[in-house]
Amino acid sequence: MDTLTTQLNSMKKEIDGMMARLGIAEKAERAQALEAEAAAADFWSNPEAAQKTMQEIARLKGQVDHWRGVAQRINDALELSQLDDSTLQAELDAEAKELATIIEKMQIETLFSGPYDNEDAILAIHAGAGGVDSQDWAQMLERMYLRWAEENKYKIDVLERSEGEEAGLKSMMMSIRGPFAYGYLQSEQGVHRLVRLSPFDAAHRRHTSFAKVELWPDIQGEIDIEINMERDLRIDTYRSSGAGGQNVQKNETAVRIMHLPTGIVVTCQNERSQAQNRERALQILKARIFEMERKKQEAELAAMKGENVSAEWGNQIRSYVLHPYQMVKDHRTEYETGNTSAVLDGRLTEFMEAYLRRKITLTPA
């Protein structure tokens, strides 16, 4: 029992430290303050603001309850271990083993240091130069991220999808909703490179294909960006369609918005009506402008510090080699694996965690 007690004491110390770093006590106080506001008689006089507050309460309470629940399990196990009852040994050993696995997973949450890491995410994939091979690669990436999201219990909505003429897709955009969706997926921004024997080459030669992944935090109503609807936007409507041109709608419900000052184009065809697609496209446009300005400010700050800043969207961040050998390698972290099929089936968490750990080590204290 002494060894078990020592192990549980170590867990208690570790989780207390992580809760302090994440400010769990402060988040609990914030949730209580918001609940007091929600009890006011005129709280729902502004439904949009009230809904936003209720969502924040739910998010804060979920995080607080999660961390405090694990801390309480450790305390309960520690109290039982101190009884020195041999009949409890097997049960406590099993509980300690399960708690160790939970804490290892929770350690990752302490790596999320960005202000939007706990937000939902909008992920877009664009086929690069290379014709049908690159379009097929873009579809392989789409499947990879869908599998990752499904495996990790995230909710997915495909917002826009443009099929390739022969195979694959030209571009697609999806929203991924759930805890720390943006925090995990930030490792995926950039150019992804595939090397393989092309199934579209009659001579079966080796081809290199590229696709670009973009990502934005889906913070919707929290973004305060002024857009002149008449001067800054060009809005077009068209008929949306399903995969392979199926289920073509008779009405022009899909919406394409171009932000003329920046050249940013957003399309949305997933919602049922043109008005809903227009509203969602505007939300995404604001998120993209917001992210662009945020990265611009970060680049300017880094330049003043004398750091080397490159155009992030043009970087080759990861290579997937299927021939002449099997290897997926992230060029930023040097993390690699020979199990290419598992990665393409959505096993990305190891790559994401390696990126998060590297990001923390590069962040100035």
Locate 332 and state its tokens: 């930023």
- pLDDT-derived band at 243 (thresholds 50, 70, 90) equals very low
Q: Which of 202-211, 316-325, 340-349 comes out lowest in average pLDDT?
A: 202-211
- What's the rounded mean pLDDT across residues 188-200? 93
Instruction: Name the average pLDDT for the chain.
Output: 87
Q: Which comes out higher in pLDDT, residue 196 or 244?
A: 196
> What pLDDT score was predicted for residue 222?
60
- Domains annotated for the chain, with CATH where assigned, are 2-109 (1.20.58.410), 121-365 (3.30.70.1660)
Which of helix, strand or coil describes residue 55?
Answer: helix
Give the relative orientation of helices 47-81 and 89-109 as an angle to the nearest 10 degrees.
140
> What pLDDT score was predicted for residue 250?
54
**Tens digit of pLDDT for each residue in 90-148?**
999 999 999 999 998 888 888 887 878 888 999 999 999 778 999 999 999 999 999 99
Residue 63 pLDDT exceeds 80: yes
Residue 281 pLDDT exceeds 50: yes
HSE, side-chain direction, 13 A CA sphere, residue 203: 3
> What pLDDT score was predicted for residue 224?
65
% of the chain beyond a pLDDT of 70: 90
> What pLDDT score was predicted for residue 14?
93
Of the candidates 303, 334, 300, the residue with the CA atom closest to the CA atom of residue 317: 334
> What pLDDT score was predicted for residue 365?
43
- pLDDT-derived band at 246 (thresholds 50, 70, 90) equals very low
Please count the other Cβ atoms lying within 10 Å of the Cβ belonging to residue 205: 8
- What's the rounded mean pLDDT across residues 206-212? 92
Sheet holding 264-268, edge to edge: 233-238, 254-259, 264-268
> What pLDDT score was predicted for residue 91?
92
Angle at 73 between CA 68 and CA 74, to 5 degrees: 100
334 DSSP assignment: -
CA distances, 33 to each of 30, 37, 61, 67 (Å):
5, 6, 12, 19
Q: Do 15 and 103 touch, CB atoms closer than 8 A?
A: yes
Residue 203 pLDDT exceeds 50: yes
335 DSSP assignment: -
> What pLDDT score was predicted for residue 87?
87
**Tens digit of pLDDT for each residue in 5-26?**
999 999 999 999 999 988 899 9
Those residues with Cβ within 8 angstroms of residue 25's Cβ, 6 or more apart along the chain or in another chain: 19
Locate 285 and state its tokens: 């446009």
**Tens digit of pLDDT for each residue in 298-344?**
776 556 545 443 334 456 899 999 999 999 999 999 999 999 999 99
Q: Which of 83-87, 220-224, 248-252, 306-310 comes out lowest in average pLDDT?
A: 306-310
Q: Which comes out higher in pLDDT, residue 320 or 247?
A: 320
